[in-house]
């Protein structure tokens, strides 16, 4: 296995309580705290310690109990449902209506993203953009984003989009085209507050409503 594939596998199958991307920030924070303490800058040491503890909290990566129902679609992100919309002809992936489910992640949510439904990564598309607050509707079209299309075994497709927010300036995705993915597996994260939009075929059964809180890889959003 190549070094890049080893790193990718280590992140997807993470056994640490925090995401690997957070480790450099955590280590640097503790080193700075120790240095400040030993030079007698106790107030600054306390401040950097508190900040470091928050970084640990932000990058936490808890295990999840993955739902195994064959037709269930899982939440790709932790957070709050912003809206559930039925789009008539506004999603390029479907020849007909599609549901759009938007999930907002605050800085207090787990930010590790998970696959909502298994299949093969058919296409990935990164688009640079702006950094409006992720809870605004225009964030879907104007913010920096990363689109991932999954083709299922039956030939149908779903689309989910990682969207950067006002504070988030770094989208991380460990997938590439043609990867085989399974429901609930980790696939990336977005740093410091963001949003994920999920597009499903219009004949899906949606069981969530706006303002509901969901957990990535654990909460069922609906059924195909």
d(CA 107, CA 194): 8
Burial class (CB in 10 A: 0-12, 13-18, 19+), 97: middle
**Whole-model pTM?**
0.88
d(CA 51, CA 45): 10
Q: 72-223: which CATH number, 1.10.4160, 2.70.70, 2.60.40, 1.20.120?
A: 2.70.70
Indicate the helix (H) or strand (E) that contains 9: helix 3-12
d(CA 76, CA 48): 32
Instruction: Say how many CA atoms lie within 13 Å of 25 toward its Cβ.
Output: 17
d(CA 216, CA 224): 18
Closest by CA position to 117, among listed 196, 44, 182, 204: 182
pLDDT in tens, 138-184: 777 778 889 999 999 888 899 999 988 776 567 889 999 999 999 99
CB atoms within 10 A of CB 55: 19
pLDDT in tens, 186-200: 999 987 668 899 999
User: Left, alpha or beta for 193 (phi > 0: left; psi -120 to 50: alpha)?
Assistant: left
d(CA 94, CA 97): 7
Known catalytic membership, residue 140: no
Q: Give me the pLDDT at residue 54, please.
A: 92
Exactly one of 72, 102, 194, 204 is catalytic; which is it? 194
Angle at the Cα of 122 from the Cα atoms of 119 and 123, rounded to 5 degrees = 135
Of the ranges 26-40, 88-102, 198-212, which one carries the lowest mean pLDDT score? 88-102
pLDDT in tens, 49-65: 999 999 999 899 999 98
d(CA 214, CA 105): 10
């Amino acid at each position: 296995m190549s070094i890049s594939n080893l790193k990718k596998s280590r992140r997807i199958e993470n056994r640490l309580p925090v995401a690997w991307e957070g480790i450099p920030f955590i280590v640097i924070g503790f080193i700075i705290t120790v240095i400040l303490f030993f030079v007698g800058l106790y107030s600054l040491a306390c401040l950097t310690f508190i900040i470091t503890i928050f970084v640990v909290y932000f990058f936490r990566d808890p295990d999840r109990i993955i739902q195994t129902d064959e037709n269930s679609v899982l939440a790709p992100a932790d957070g709050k449902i912003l809206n559930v919309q039925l789009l008539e002809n506004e999603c390029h992936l479907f020849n007909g209506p599609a549901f759009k489910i938007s999930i907002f992640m605050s800085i207090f949510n787990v930010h590790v993203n998970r696959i909502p439904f298994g299949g093969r990564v058919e296409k990935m598309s990164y688009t640079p953009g702006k950094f409006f607050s992720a809870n605004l509707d225009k964030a879907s079209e104007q913010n920096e984003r990363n689109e991932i299309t999954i083709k299922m075994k039956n030939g149908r497709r779903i689309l989910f989009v990682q969207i950067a927010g006002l504070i988030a300036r770094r989208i991380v995705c460990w997938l590439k085209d043609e990867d085989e993915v399974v429901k609930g597996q980790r696939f990336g994260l977005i740093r410091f507050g963001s949003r994920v939009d999920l597009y499903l075929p219009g004949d899906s059964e949606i069981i969530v409503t706006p303002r509901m809180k969901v957990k990535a890889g654990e909460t069922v959003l609906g059924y195909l």
